[in-house]
C-alpha cells in the first residue's frame, strides 16, 4: 500500500502526442506515481490516430504507475477535443480517428455555416461558428468521402468518450467535450436534432451526456488496468480538464502552449462570438469556457529550430523578420489552407532572430484573442497563467511576457490536464467541486514573472504582414 493520507485517484490526459497518467492522493494532491506513453499522428492535411493506440498508451502509462493505479478509488479521463471516433457494432474503430487539427473538412464547415443561417445563427445556437476542427464537419467530410465507413458506424465518440467507454462499457460524454462537436446546442444544452439530421447522423449513435458530479460508470470486470468497480468520472476535453486542474475562476486568463495553442477563461456568461474567433465551449462544471485555439504552437516552433539547426532556446532579439508559422494551416486566424510565410529577410538576419520570429508569430495569434475570451469586467492586471509543455521554456515565457505586457504566472505543476481529471475523480469521492479540490491542492502555485512593456512594434509588424498577405494565406502551398 502507498503512504497516502486519503484515497487514491487517477487522472489521465490523452492528448495529441501522448497519454499521461497520474495517481494522486485525493487528500493532499500529492502525485504518488506517473506514467506516459506516446501516440502517432499521420502527417499532411489529414491528421489521424488509431484509437486502439490511445488505449494501448493508457495501459502502458498506467503500467508505469505500478500498483498505485490498482489501488485507485476513482478515475477520470481528459482527452484532446473534437476528434471523430467511429465505432462498429462490436465497439472497434471503423477507421482511424480524424483529429482536431485535420483541416480537410474546411469546405464542409463553410457549407454547414451557410446552410444553418450563417455565423451569427451558429453562434447564437451552438456558442461557436464551426471550423474544420469541429466534429460535425469531420462527420460531413466522412459522409462525402467514405460513405462505406459511415454506413458501418454504430457509435460516434470523442477521444475521451472512447477511453471512458473502454473502462465502463457505457457510451458517455460530458458537456465540456460535447460543446466542441457542433451538434450540441449550448443554448439548450442538448443534442441538436436539426444539425444531426442535416449531416445524416442518428442521435442514437451518440453517447449520453453525463452531468457534472455524476458517476459515468464503474470499471467493468476483465483484463483492465483498474480494479473492478472503481468509480469512473465523466471526464472532459483537455482544456476543460486543465481549467479544473487550475481551480480556475472567472477573470483569470490561461495560455496553454502544447501541440495546440489555446487561450481561455472561465465565464458565467454563455459565449456567442459570431466572428468565430472564440469557441463558446462549456466547462466541466456548469459554467462556460470561451476559448481560441491555434494549430501551430510548440511543434511549429520546434520545427523551425530543427530546420535552422539550433536549440529551441537559442533565440536572438532584433532584426526585421516576420514569420507566420502556419505550417499546418491555421484555425486562429481562420486560414485552413495557409502555409508558413516569411517576410523581411535580410543579409544580416540571424538564425536566432528567425527562430524568435516563429515564437512571436505563434504567440501573436493567441494574444489577439485574449481580450475576447475574458469578460469585460475582468481585472486587466490578473497574471496570465502559462501552462502546457511550452510553458517550461524560457523563450516561450519571455515571448509571452513581451507580447502580452502582462504578468505571467507559471504553475509548478506540469500536468494540469491530468491533475484536473484527478480533481474531478476526487470530487466524485468527496462531493466537492473539482475546481475547489484543485485549489485545495494548490496546483496553480508557481513563480510570477513581472510585466514588461508590450512590444507594440513587433505586434504591429505581424498584424500588417498578416493583412497584406491575405490572398497568399488563402491559397494552398501548391497555389490552388
Ligand atoms: N522545456 C521546454 N521548452 C520548450 N518547449 C517544450 C519544453 N518541454 C516540452 N516542450 C514542448 O511541449 C510540447 C508538448 O506539450 P504538451 O502540452 O505536453 O503537448 P500535448 O498535450 O498537446 O500533446 C512539445 O511539442 C515540446 O515542443
Ligand atoms: O482543438 C483544441 C481545442 O479546441 C485543442 O486544444 C485540442 O483539444 C488538442 O489539444 P492538445 O493535444 O494540444 O492538448
pLDDT of residue 409: 98
Higher-scoring residue by pLDDT: 105, 3: 105
Ligand nearest to the CA of 128: 2
Ligand nearest to the CA of 295: 2
Task: Please report the atom of ligand 2 found closest to the CA of residue 237.
Answer: 8
State yes or no: 364 annotated in a binding site.
no
Find out whether the peptide bond into 66 is cis, omega within 30 degrees of 0.
no
Ligand nearest to the CA of 138: 2
Which residue's CA lies nearest to atom 10 of ligand 2? Answer: 80
Region 180-202 average pLDDT:
98
Residue 187, pLDDT > 80, answer yes
| Ligand 2 probe mutation, 293, 331, 365, most atoms within 8 A of CB | 293
CA of 371 to the centre of ligand 2 (A): 20
Residue 1, pLDDT > 50, answer no
Question: What are the grid coordinates assigned to 361, written together?
Answer: 508569430
Residue 470, pLDDT > 90, answer yes
Task: Please report the atom of ligand 2 found closest to the CA of residue 388.
Answer: 14
pLDDT of residue 477: 83
d(C-alpha 223, C-alpha 227), whole Å: 9
Task: Give the contacts of 106 (CB within 8 A, at least 6 positions apart).
Answer: 131, 132, 137, 329, 336, 337
d(C-alpha 251, C-alpha 24), whole Å: 28
Chain segment 233-247, per-residue pLDDT in tens: 999 999 999 999 999
Tell me the pTM: 0.97
Signed CA dihedral, 407, 408, 411, 415: sign only? positive
Question: What are the grid coordinates assigned to 346, written together?
Answer: 535580410
In this structure, the residues whose C-beta lies within 6 A of any atom of ligand 1 are 15-18, 258-259, 298-299, 302, 312, 388-390, 392-393, 396
In this structure, the residues whose C-beta lies within 6 A of any atom of ligand 2 are 15-16, 80-82, 100, 133, 180, 237-239, 258-260, 262, 279, 293
pLDDT of residue 44: 77
For each of the domains in the chain, give its residue range(s) and CATH number, in order of start. Answer: 8-237 (3.30.420.40), 241-415+444-474 (3.30.420.40)
ipTM of this complex prediction, to 2 decimal places: 0.98
Region 468-479 average pLDDT:
91
CA of 180 to the centre of ligand 1 (A): 23
Which residues are known to be catalytic? 238
What's the angle, vertex CA 96, arms to CA 244 and CA 303, rounded to 5? 70
Task: Please report the atom of ligand 2 found closest to the CA of residue 15.
Answer: 12
Q: For residue 263, give Cα distances in angstroms to 232, 255, 285, 338, 435.
A: 28, 4, 19, 21, 18
Chain segment 43-100, per-residue pLDDT in tens: 977 999 999 999 999 999 999 999 999 999 999 999 999 999 999 999 999 999 999 9
pLDDT of residue 221: 82
| Ligand 1 probe mutation, 298, 310, 399, 413, most atoms within 8 A of CB | 298
| Ligand 1 probe mutation, 239, 389, 414, most atoms within 8 A of CB | 389
In a 3-state reduction of DSSP, which class is residue 228?
Answer: coil
| Ligand 2 probe mutation, 138, 174, 239, 273, most atoms within 8 A of CB | 239
Which residue's CA lies nearest to atom 9 of ligand 2? Answer: 80
pLDDT of residue 158: 99
pLDDT of residue 2: 53
Signed CA dihedral, 455, 456, 461, 464: sign only? positive
Question: What are the grid coordinates assigned to 380, written together?
Answer: 486587466
Region 177-186 average pLDDT:
98
CA of 52 to the centre of ligand 1 (A): 23
Task: Please report the atom of ligand 2 found closest to the CA of residue 259.
Answer: 13
pLDDT of residue 3: 74
CA of 332 to the centre of ligand 2 (A): 13
Chain segment 254-292, per-residue pLDDT in tens: 999 999 999 999 999 999 999 999 999 999 999 999 999
CA of 198 to the centre of ligand 2 (A): 26
State yes or no: 347 annotated in a binding site.
no
Q: What is the DSSP letter of 17?
A: S
Ligand nearest to the CA of 47: 2
Which residue's CA lies nearest to atom 2 of ligand 1? Answer: 393
Residue 225 burial by Cβ neighbours in a 10 Å radius (0-12, 13-18, 19+):
buried
Task: Please report the atom of ligand 2 found closest to the CA of residue 82.
Answer: 1
Amino acid at each position: 500500500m502507498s503512504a497516502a493520507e486519503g484515497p487514491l485517484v487517477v487522472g489521465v490526459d490523452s492528448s495529441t502526442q501522448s497519454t499521461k497518467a497520474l495517481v494522486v492522493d485525493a487528500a493532499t494532491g500529492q502525485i504518488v506515481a506517473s506514467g506516459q506513453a506516446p501516440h502517432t499522428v499521420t502527417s499532411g492535411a489529414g491528421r489521424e490516430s488509431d484509437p486502439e493506440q490511445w488505449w494501448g498508451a493508457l495501459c502502458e502509462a498506467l503500467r508505469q504507475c505500478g500498483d498505485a493505479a490498482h489501488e485507485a478509488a476513482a478515475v477520470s479521463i481528459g482527452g484532446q477535443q473534437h476528434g471523430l471516433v467511429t465505432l462498429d457494432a462490436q465497439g472497434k474503430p471503423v477507421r482511424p480517428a480524424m483529429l482536431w487539427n485535420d483541416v480537410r473538412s474546411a469546405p464542409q464547415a463553410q457549407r454547414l455555416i451557410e446552410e444553418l443561417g450563417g455565423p451569427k445563427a451558429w453562434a447564437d445556437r451552438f456558442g461557436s461558428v464551426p471550423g474544420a476542427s469541429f466534429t460535425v464537419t469531420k462527420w460531413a467530410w466522412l459522409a462525402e468521402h467514405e460513405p462505406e465507413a459511415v454506413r458501418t458506424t454504430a457509435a460516434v465518440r470523442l477521444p475521451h468518450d472512447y477511453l471512458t467507454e473502454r473502462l465502463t462499457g457505457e457510451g458517455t460524454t460530458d458537456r465540456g467535450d460535447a460543446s466542441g462537436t457542433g451538434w450540441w446546442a449550448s443554448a439548450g444544452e442538448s443534442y441538436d436534432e436539426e444539425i444531426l439530421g442535416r449531416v445524416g447522423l442518428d442521435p442514437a449513435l451518440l453517447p449520453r451526456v453525463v452531468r457534472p458530479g455524476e458517476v459515468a460508470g464503474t470499471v467493468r470486470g476483465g483484463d483492465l488496468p483498474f480494479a473492478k468497480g472503481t468509480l469512473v468520472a465523466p471526464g472532459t476535453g483537455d482544456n476543460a480538464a486543465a481549467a479544473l486542474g487550475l481551480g480556475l475562476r472567472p477573470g483569470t486568463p490561461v495560455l496553454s502552449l502544447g501541440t495546440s495553442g489555446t487561450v481561455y477563461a472561465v465565464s458565467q456568461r454563455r459565449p456567442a462570438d459570431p466572428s468565430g474567433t472564440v469557441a463558446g465551449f462549456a466547462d466541466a462544471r456548469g459554467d462556460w469556457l470561451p476559448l481560441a485555439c491555434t494549430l501551430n504552437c510548440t511543434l511549429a516552433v520546434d520545427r523551425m529550430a530543427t530546420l535552422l539547426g539550433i536549440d529551441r532556446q537559442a533565440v536572438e532579439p532584433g532584426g526585421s523578420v516576420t514569420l507566420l508559422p502556419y505550417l499546418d494551416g491555421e484555425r486562429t486566424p481562420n486560414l485552413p489552407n495557409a502555409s508558413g510565410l516569411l517576410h523581411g529577410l535580410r543579409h544580416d538576419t540571424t538564425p536566432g532572430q528567425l527562430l524568435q520570429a516563429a515564437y512571436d508569430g505563434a504567440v501573436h495569434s493567441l494574444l489577439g484573442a485574449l481580450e475576447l475570451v475574458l469578460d469585460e469586467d475582468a481585472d486587466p492586471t490578473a497574471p496570465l497563467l502559462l501552462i502546457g509543455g511550452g510553458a517550461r521554456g524560457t523563450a516561450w515565457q519571455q515571448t509571452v511576457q513581451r507580447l502580452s505586457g502582462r504578468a505571467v504566472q507559471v504553475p509548478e505543476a506540469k500536468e494540469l490536464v491530468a491533475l484536473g481529471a484527478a480533481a474531478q475523480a476526487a470530487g466524485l469521492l468527496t462531493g466537492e467541486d473539482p475546481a475547489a479540490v484543485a485549489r485545495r491542492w494548490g496546483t496553480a502555485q508557481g513563480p510570477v514573472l513581472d510585466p514588461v512593456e508590450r512590444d507594440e512594434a513587433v505586434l504591429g509588424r505581424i498584424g500588417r504582414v498578416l493583412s497584406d498577405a491575405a490572398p497568399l494565406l488563402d491559397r494552398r502551398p501548391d497555389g490552388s
